[in-house]
Structure 1
Amino acid sequence: MIGATVTFSYPSDFDRSRIVDVAENARAMFEGMPGLRYKFFTFDEKRQQAVNFYVWESREEAERFFSEELRERVTGLYGVAPTIEFVQIAEIVDNSAS
């Protein structure tokens, strides 16, 4: 499995409501998406960042998703360009069923 961290850093004008609106409006797009196991929308007002974390079944699926078109689209939605980093996931602990 592959993790992808997508970070939007704001030098100023951090708008919490904009980030929450993007998450609320985009959620349905990710539900049932092939190859995507999890997606988390987060933000950190103190750091002035929105950070989204994805868990993909494979690196190929993750890289295919993060196309140049997608990068341009999310830059428009968030108002700043993202930084995208991939990591190999060694293990997941999921206590949600407990």
Structure 2
Amino acid sequence: MIGVTVTFSYPSGLDRSQVIKIAEGARGMFEGMPGVRFKFFTFSEKEQQAVNFYVWESKEAAEQFFSPELRERVTDLYGAAPAIEFVEIAEIVDNSKS
């Protein structure tokens, strides 16, 4: 599995409610999406960052998703270009089924 961290350092004019609205609007796109196991939308008002974390079934699926077109679209959405980092996931602990 592959983890992808997408970090946006957004302008000070973007507040908590705007970031939540973006996440709410995008959520449906990822529900049931082939290859995506998890997606987390996070943000820090203090750091002025939105950080999205994905868990993908394969590196190929993740790389295909993060196309130049997608990068341009999310840059327009957040008002800032994202930093995208791919990492290999060694193990996942999922206590949600307990």
TM over 0.5: yes
Letter aligned with residue 82 of structure 2 = P
Cross-structure match for 1:25: 25
Match of 2:92, SS state, is: coil
The residue aligned with 2:96 is: 96
CA contact (8 A) 1:14 1:45 kept: no
Matched residues in 1 for 2:75 and 2:4: separation? 17
Structure 1 residue 54: Cα displacement: 0.1
- Structure 2 counterpart SS, 1:92: coil
Query: Unaligned 5+ residue runs, structure 1?
Result: none
Please give the TM-score of this superposition, normalised by the length of structure 2. 0.96
Flag structure 2 segments of 5+ consecutive residues without an equivalent. none
Quote the Cα distance in structure 2 between the aligned partners of 1:10 and 1:34.
29
The answer for the alignment partner of 1:42 in structure 2 is 42
Superposition pairs for residues 64-79 of structure 1, below 5 Å?
Answer: 64-79=64-79
1:47-58 correspondence to structure 2 within 5 Å:
47-58=47-58
Greater mean alpha carbon deviation, residues 11-20 or residues 70-79:
11-20
- The two structures, once aligned, show a CA RMSD in angstroms of 0.9
Report % sequence identity: 77
Aligned length: 98
Q: Which runs of 4+ in 1 moved over 4 A?
A: none
